[in-house]
Amino acid sequence: MFGIHAVTSLLERQPEQVISLHLMKGREDDKLDKIARLASQIGLQQELMERDLLDEMTGGLVHQGVVAVCKPLKTYSEQWLFDRLAERSSPLLLVLDGVTDPHNLGAVLRTADAAGADAVIVPKDKSATLNATVRKVACGAAEVMPVVSVTNLSRCLDELKQHGVWVMGTAGEADQGLYETDLTGPTALVMGAEGKGMRRLTREHCDLLVNLPMAGEVSSLNVSVASGVCLYEAVRQRSQTA
């Protein structure tokens, strides 16, 4: 993981994930000093390095003078998911169908964590992996938001329905609007990739398709933005019925 905000969040929320910390030599920065202090408080190994070596570690991506070597993130199983559903009276899930851009996945995880979603579900063969870019963009959410990786997404949606979860897909051509849809019960919101949207089989396994109102000239939103709109509409509705 790299970047000031992402590493700071990780050290504050899940410092046990960090193996070692690498800081840029000679850089005077209050935010980097804070990272160094957090690392010292937990006895974490620190190393001062030249910029070019940090550049090599991140493949030339912007690291802001800090790189943390972390334990690999794990994804969760379908059995874990259904065990978790049994503990929730009205779960809120987000399903990503074909989101392969790590920046989008990271942004979605950050939003899902902020909205209090129970898990994000992705297919094993059509999804970005939990790499360093995802962790940086998620700013700590990738370490705490459960990501469930499933072999067969359509089958998983059917099993969710059997567990009483209402599966709602988002599609521009849908007749029903998001704001006219009840999101207060057990809900799985399904988001497709930009451009292609949901795959045909995924669409067919949804209980309902809804659209987001689009008043401008563009025909769709970035998947992370659309996810945020949908999740927070669910949060709004649920707060009124609590």
CA distance 13 to 181: 35
CB count within 10 Å of CB 61 equals 14
Given strand 66-70, what is the order of strands in its sheet? 46-49, 18-24, 66-70
Helices marked H in the chain: 4-13, 30-41, 51-58, 78-85, 102-115, 132-138, 153-162, 200-204, 223-241
CB 128 within 8 A of CB 101: yes
DSSP string, 112-135: HHHHT-SEEEEESSSS--S-HHHH
192 is known to lie in a ligand binding site: yes
109 is known to lie in a ligand binding site: no
Q: What are phi and psi of 92, to 5 degrees?
A: -125, 115
23 is known to lie in a ligand binding site: no
* Unique residue bearing structure tokens 């949804």: 206
At 18 the three-state DSSP class reads: strand
CB 204 within 8 A of CB 233: no
CA distance 21 to 67: 6
CA distances from 71 to 4, 10, 43, 68, 197 (A): 18, 12, 17, 10, 33
Which residues are part of a known binding site for S-adenosyl-L-methionine? 192, 212, 221
Which residues are part of a known binding site? 192, 212, 221
